[in-house]
């Protein structure tokens, strides 16, 4: 049971959107949960199968209690359920046996004097209504996150559904929305570029603007206080039922097809962002996604079918005047001023609406000059120096590379003639087909003829894991990282379809918006450095795969030809180097596979259409 708000202690399972035995993918809605604030959908973080439902519709469950079990595959469902039931019965029996023995010893015990200071060491919250924003768990394996940026500043008014900040996980940046009541951002505890464990408070929200100064002092005490120890679970006290809505406060119902939860239209984060950019009211859009969820394509279709709307009037928030005692400043300016021990109220603000910016603070401390810096000597940019911490993506790449050190790999190379393949590409390029899509299809067709190359080592059972789908992952270099978007079922799809999807995957990769199943579901990989003039290279085998192909650039070469003048002719060649896991795959397997790939590219390139 997830914590859908900072005050939620338990939740009610309103509705299951999937059934036991159903296959689920990352991002699929699993259930609707009722919290103390609103009804929200619970999404799956990973691919798998819903093995067993533990909490039925209408039942209550405490935050943190398991509500369902998932398995990686249908074959593992029985084992997962049996392991959970065994663990539950063992835990119950051990608790029952320990209770009689511990009762007599604990009866005469009284609180020790040392326990009192420990309880009082935590900063006492002010007696004003407020909420805390905690570091969310954006995946089932996430233990900490990095605050990329804050979308609001202290003193800004915020409403339910407003984006608050962007958090970086190991693969993507995700926007965190406000799920609580309307109010004002009182203080930021973890500034941009700061890292925090999951569950650590990041900011404090005041329900009343006049309470901001008191909450800012409380936030400063939280920033310097150690993380409190986990307390024993307290008995939950049911919150009073809200008064029934009056007819005047009833919101208009959305059109047929759109689905609402707690009065709010259910939509994907990308659809919500696109709707905001294009001025589309989501409550008017009919959703075509799972359970009526509004998708990006729904927003685009609605916008194209609607007449051009007049420019939106300026937001009332743009003329917002802070309350007395509240200084408008950016989070970075607030952090810099605190470090320099400067009073923000004494600094002139040059930002929007008079907000104090980081440069204003730097001017006050002398770190920045009022005059622009002189041009670099002879047009030379200064070289970087010092140690820069890895980003979340770079840490994930480094971890995966270290994991490959224990894999026994070997490499096999082969030259492939590219004359006919390049001629085919020249014809299809006019239709928008990329070389990456053509090579992806060629590798998929070859892997279909040699399934062992699409397999991987299964350490759990000590055998070969054959993959029913051929999902080709292509390595893409990003600024500060590397990711592998996946073309699923590439052997069954047309090259035009693969090319269109590849453009979309590249766009998502560059904006850090790929879904987990779009980068971690590959079964065979390709990495290509030919566009940089590299003739050949070796690739590191990705974790969980058996084969990766390193493609060099296509180079001019002179080869023997008995029918040509002087017995020689000019041709175009590309060197392919396969790196394979030697546990499921052998050298002979790879040699035969490369021979088939060469035959497809050289003589049967029409099979990739």
Active site residues: 582
Instruction: Report the distance separating Cα 388 and Cα 224, nearest Å.
Output: 25
The residue among 241, 233, 177 whose CA lies nearest residue 61 is 233
The two tokens of residue 150 are 């804050």
DSSP secondary structure letter of residue 214: H
> Among residues 519, 298, 481, which one has the least CA distance to residue 398?
481
d(CA 249, CA 423): 66
**Tokens read off for 538:** 């070796």
Burial of 458 (0-12, 13-18, 19+ CB in 10 A): middle
- For the chain, the farthest-separated pair of C-alpha atoms sits apart, in whole angstroms, at 105
- C-alpha span between 158 and 180 (Å, rounded): 10
Strands 486-487 and 260-261: unpaired
Any residues with CB less than 8 A from the CB of 442 and at least 6 apart, and which? 421, 597, 600, 601, 605, 608
CB 51 within 8 A of CB 70: yes
Map tokens 């052998």 to a residue. Answer: 586
Cα distances (Å, whole numbers) of residue 430 to 170, 496, 555: 37, 11, 23
- Nearest Cα neighbor of 49 from 85, 82, 13, 25 is 25
């Amino acid at each position: 049971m997830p914590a859908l708000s900072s005050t939620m202690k338990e939740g009610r399972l309103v509705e299951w959107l999937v059934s036991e035995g159903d296959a689920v993918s990352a991002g699929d809605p699993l259930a609707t949960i009722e919290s103390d604030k609103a009804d929200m959908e619970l999404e799956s973080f990973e691919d798998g199968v819903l093995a067993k439902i533990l909490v039925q519709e209408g039942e209550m469950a405490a935050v943190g209690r398991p509500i369902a079990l998932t398995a990686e595959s249908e074959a593992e469902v029985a084992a997962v359920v049996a392991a959970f039931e065994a663990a539950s019965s063992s835990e119950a029996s051990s608790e029952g046996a320990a209770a009689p023995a511990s009762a007599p010893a604990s009866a005469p015990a009284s609180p020790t004097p040392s326990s009192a200071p420990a309880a009082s060491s935590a900063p006492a919250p002010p007696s004003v209504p407020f909420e805390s924003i905690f570091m969310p768990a954006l995946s089932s394996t996430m233990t900490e996150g990095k605050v990329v940026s804050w979308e609001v500043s202290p003193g800004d008014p915020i409403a339910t559904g407003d984006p608050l900040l962007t958090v970086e996980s190991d693969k993507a940046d995700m926007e965190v929305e406000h799920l609580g009541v309307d109010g004002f951002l009182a203080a930021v505890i973890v500034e941009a570029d700061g890292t925090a464990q999951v569950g650590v408070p990041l900011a404090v929200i005041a329900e009343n603007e006049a309470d901001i100064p008191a909450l800012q002092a409380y936030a400063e005490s939280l920033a310097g206080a150690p993380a409190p120890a986990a307390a024993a679970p307290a008995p939950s006290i049911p919150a009073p039922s809200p008064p029934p809505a009056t007819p005047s406060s009833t919101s208009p119902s959305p059109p047929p097809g759109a689905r609402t939860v707690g009065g709010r239209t259910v939509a994907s984060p990308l659809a919500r962002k696109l709707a905001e950019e294009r001025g589309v009211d989501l409550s008017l859009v009919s959703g075509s996604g799972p359970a009526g969820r509004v998708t990006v394509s729904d927003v685009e279709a609605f916008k194209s079918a609607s007449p051009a709307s007049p420019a939106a009037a300026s937001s009332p928030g743009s003329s917002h005047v802070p309350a007395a005692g509240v200084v408008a400043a950016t989070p970075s300016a607030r952090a810099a001023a605190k470090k320099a021990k400067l009073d923000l109220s004494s600094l002139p603000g040059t930002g929007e609406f008079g907000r104090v910016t980081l440069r204003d603070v730097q001017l006050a401390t002398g770190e920045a000059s009022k005059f622009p810096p002189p041009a670099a000597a002879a047009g030379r940019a200064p070289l970087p120096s010092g140690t820069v911490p890895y980003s979340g993506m770079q840490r994930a790449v480094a971890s995966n590379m270290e994991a490959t050190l224990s894999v026994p790999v070997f490499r096999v190379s082969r030259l492939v003639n590219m004359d006919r393949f390049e001629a085919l590409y020249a014809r299809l390029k006019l239709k928008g087909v990329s070389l990456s899509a053509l090579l992806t299809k060629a590798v998929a067709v070859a892997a279909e003829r040699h399934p062992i190359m699409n397999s991987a080592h299964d350490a759990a059972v000590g055998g070969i894991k054959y993959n029913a789908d051929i999902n080709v992952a292509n390595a893409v270099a990003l600024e500060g990282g590397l990711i592998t978007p996946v073309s699923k079922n590439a052997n069954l799809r047309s090259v035009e379809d693969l090319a269109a999807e590849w453009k979309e995957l590249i766009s998502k990769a560059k904006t850090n918006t790929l879904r987990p199943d779009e980068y971690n579901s590959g079964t065979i990989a390709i990495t290509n450095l030919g566009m940089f003039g590299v003739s050949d290279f070796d690739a590191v085998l990705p974790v969980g795969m058996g084969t990766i192909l390193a493609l060099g650039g296509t180079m001019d070469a002179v080869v023997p030809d008995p029918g040509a003048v002087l017995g020689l002719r000019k041709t175009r060649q590309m060197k392919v180097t396969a790196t394979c896991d030697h546990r499921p795959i052998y050298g002979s397997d790879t040699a035969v596979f490369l021979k088939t790939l060469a035959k497809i590219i050289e003589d049967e390139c029409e099979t990739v259409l």
